[in-house]
Amino acid sequence: MSTIEYRDFDGDLDALRAMAADSWNEEYGIHTWPDLYKPELARHFFAGVEDPRYLIGAYDGAKLVAFVANLPRTYRFEGRVYKAVMSCMLVGHSDYRRRGIALELIGECLRRNEEIGIDFALLTLEKKHRSSELFAKHLNPRHRIEIVKRMFPITRPIDFSTLAANEGLKGYERAAVHLFGSHRPLIAPRVHGKVRPYADSDLSRIAELAEIDSMNGYLVRVFSKEALARQLHDGQVTQTVVCEKNGRVEAFANFTYYDLVGPRGAKRWAWLDFMHWEKIGYKEKKALLAGVWETARKNDSIGIMEWHKGYYRTGPLYRMRFVPYTRFLDLNAWIFNERVSLDKVQGIFEQQI
């Protein structure tokens, strides 16, 4: 008889991180993985979760053996507003595999999402990852799951020698980066206006800029002002750089710090989350990204990463010597509302978790 109980997460972030580290270190081996379970980062993710039904743990007595988070979201698409979740951080203890716990945990997610009245759940799956194989074998054939967007990272080194060592880049890969010039610092050109760190007084203006038009095929996250303020600056977890012209913020770049963990240790990266820069020219764009580069460097990041989510033009990033990284994720939508379809989404104004 099974002793596993599926219930609301008890909030023990240290236990969650320890369990996840054991599992992911074994699965990824020589490759790096993002430590989504670092307590400061997990606390940031969970700050907007008021209903305990959104965070679910599988417990063997008092021991946490599996976990999944459903982070509540509101999205706008083609003029309609939807109640959704970002389903993420699925992980199970390596000693409890092949007992059906992950499927039971996902089944509990389904029950709760339907009970809460969710229209759809977004989730990302990495090719050849254990969770991707689980979905392909057991869940995709029996449920309506749509592929919304194929994503891949493009990166800009900050400390290239450390990055190359930590990611185990081969000699020809290092040579290609040097040939492209991506190992050099990202230097800001002289521009009209100024690039500076985000200030609390910028919140209302950035809220205006974040009203991305959903009628052009973008799936857009709708923020409350409290959630947006937390995303723009939350201690040493999230930061934002703005471009101001004539005393008015015209562009911003928001990013979150993640530790990528591997056999060579953990190194910090800055992941670009929310950007708006359509109102400024290339030189201002470069100054804005140079501001991100310098801010991230001062906070010990070895690189900047963008997940190619498609809601803004990334051509300028390539001109700034961002380079593609061969790691692919599929953003999927688990559809609960039969009137919803996301197969026409061109880009998504949301962070990658």
353 residues of the chain, pLDDT tens digit each: 468 999 999 999 999 999 998 887 776 666 788 999 999 999 999 999 999 999 999 999 999 999 999 999 999 999 999 999 999 999 988 888 878 898 899 889 989 999 999 999 999 887 766 666 666 665 656 678 888 998 999 999 999 999 999 888 899 999 999 999 999 999 999 998 899 999 999 999 999 999 998 888 999 999 999 999 999 999 989 999 999 999 999 999 999 999 998 778 889 999 999 999 999 999 999 999 999 999 999 999 999 999 989 999 899 999 999 998 877 888 999 999 989 999 889 999 999 99
CATH 3.40.50.150 fits 4-148, yes or no: no
CB 138, CB 98: distance < 8 Å: no
For strand 218-221 and strand 347-349, is the pairing parallel, antiparallel, or unpaired?
A: parallel
Contacts of 229 (CB under 8 A, 6+ apart): 200, 203
Q: Shortest CA distance to 307 belongs to which of 267, 252, 348, 266? A: 348
Per residue in 252-265, pLDDT (tens digit) is 999 999 999 877 88
CB 305, CB 316: distance < 8 Å: no
β-sheet bridge partners, residue 67 = 57, 91
Q: Shortest CA distance to 151 belongs to which of 344, 332, 335? A: 332
Q: CA of 265: how far to CAs of 159, 167, 262, 268, 273, in Å?
A: 15, 10, 5, 10, 24
In this prediction the pTM is 0.92
Q: Which CATH architecture has domain 154-326?
A: 3-Layer(aba) Sandwich (3.40)
DSSP state at residue 81: E
Domains 4-148 and 154-326 share a fold: yes
Q: Ramachandran region of residue 193, left (φ > 0), alpha (ψ -120 to 50) or beta?
A: left
